[in-house]
Amino acid sequence: MLSHAPNLDEQIKNWQFIEVWIDPILFPPRMLMLVGDQDGCCCIYDPANQYKLIFKSLTYDEANSWLLEDEYERFDGRFLGDQPDS
């Protein structure tokens, strides 16, 4: 199970990567989760609000720009999904 949020597993079952973004100006920092799927679509979820979907885009660049506009910063690192065996 990916999370404790209802229906989140079904929404992002084909995820390829997850990035954590924070707003460093707030304390404690507000955290958002960017999830990219295998088709290139990206969704941004708010873990503090039962993983509510707050933004959806067809590209990573669009989601990235949305986060940067609100002055979020990407936390170093990325969580990768299982890669199929070659």
pLDDT value of residue 55: 96
**Total-model pTM:** 0.76
Contact residues for 34 (Cβ-Cβ < 8 A; gap 6+): 18, 19, 20, 21, 42, 43, 44, 63, 64, 67
Return all residues near 36 (Cβ < 8 A) that are at least 6 apart: 15, 16, 17, 18, 19, 42, 60, 63
pLDDT tens string 23-65: 988 888 899 999 999 888 999 999 999 999 999 999 999 999 9
What pLDDT, on a 0 to 100 scale, did the predictor assign at position 81? 61
